[in-house]
Structure 1
């Protein structure tokens, strides 16, 4: 699972937030039937196209340690649930390409049927984070952003990485608002309480 580190401030030259930013690296979480994030499971990858004719598939990993998460013998839950669970039989990581063979997927037709399936693990399997400025990205999605005075700004819908800088993507009254994920602007992250406190600089929000 992707881990975000909250810096004191973004390095010089980092992109400044704007509503028309191009999409960058998006962190995915699993949503339940009501559209809310599922807190007991997190997505660690998505199955891509088939590779070859023997049932291998490309996988887009959403984890900081794909070699460990997709180690042979790993059992992964799926979304949709009827596609799994899937057991990793062989995984080969070369550069940014991850090729996986799942047990029981023996031909290209079966592999193509898995295209787009998301792969999940229980959130409890994640390692504990010792640094108070590190957070699992999936824990941030669904939190309510508000100011210190209590004004609600919107719900964290996604987490975005642009040029090495992290942003919270808020659903702010029907439009998308990017908030730099730095301590100077996001001084408080209360995952248990479901809240992030934002201290927006002039011009970030039209409050």
Structure 2
């Protein structure tokens, strides 16, 4: 599965640098000089990082072969992606990456099937979006009290919803 770690924005200056909207919590690793990074659409890459620097809390990146503002403009909107296999698992048994949760079957503590996790939203409180058959999607806060068990190897997530949540 591909994970987006950044999105190329507008050019910065005249030497081909672009702004990058960072979508990773480790930009120093993901945007290291000399690194080749895949793109979406795939035809625009892979891109090799020639240099990077921070300017007023904005990441600026220069890619090999894109030395002018006009060339850099061609990259605008390109997503920078990595394979999910490149992401190190967390040492914390209660911490999960979104891609690990999406696709898990959801069932209640009593074994009743609920649906499948289709997305994870991060709006102050992490919310699991669960697609239910024949019903609207359910939003379940991703907290231990409501989600007591995440079984990645079994492909399921156990929920203990309060009355009215589902």
**TM-score tier (shorter):** 0.7 to 0.9
Aligned to 1:91: 52
The answer on whether the counterparts of 1:67 and 1:93 sit within 8 Å (CA) in structure 2 is no
2:29 paired residue among 65, 68, 79: 68
Aligned to 1:113: 74
The answer on whether the counterparts of 1:47 and 1:115 sit within 8 Å (CA) in structure 2 is yes
* Structure possessing the higher relative contact order (Cα contacts under 8 Å, 6 or more residues apart): 1
CA shift digits 1:38-92 (9 cap, x unpaired)? 2xx3221222222233221111111111122111112111111111111111111
Question: RMSD of the TM alignment (CA)?
Answer: 2.0
Alpha carbons of 1:47 and 1:197: their partners in 2 closer, same or farther (altered >3 Å)? same
Structure 1 stretches of 4+ with a deviation exceeding 4 A read none
- Structure of larger gyration radius: 2
Counterpart Cα distance in 1 of 2:88 and 2:130: 27
TM-score by structure 1 length? Answer: 0.71
Equivalent residue runs for 1:53-202 within 5 Å: 53-94=14-55, 96-163=57-124, 165-173=125-133, 175-202=136-163
Farther-moved stretch of structure 1 (145-154 vs 130-139): 145-154
Alpha carbons of 1:186 and 1:89: their partners in 2 closer, same or farther (altered >3 Å)? same
Q: Give 1 or 2: higher strand fraction.
A: 2
CA shift digits 1:100-135 (9 cap, x unpaired)? 111111222322222222212232322232111011
Tell me the number of residue pairs that the alignment of Structure 1 and Structure 2 aligns: 165
Q: Indicate the SS of the match to 1:101.
A: strand
The answer on whether the counterparts of 1:77 and 1:121 sit within 8 Å (CA) in structure 2 is yes
TM-score by structure 2 length? Answer: 0.86
Q: Indicate the SS of the match to 1:175.
A: coil
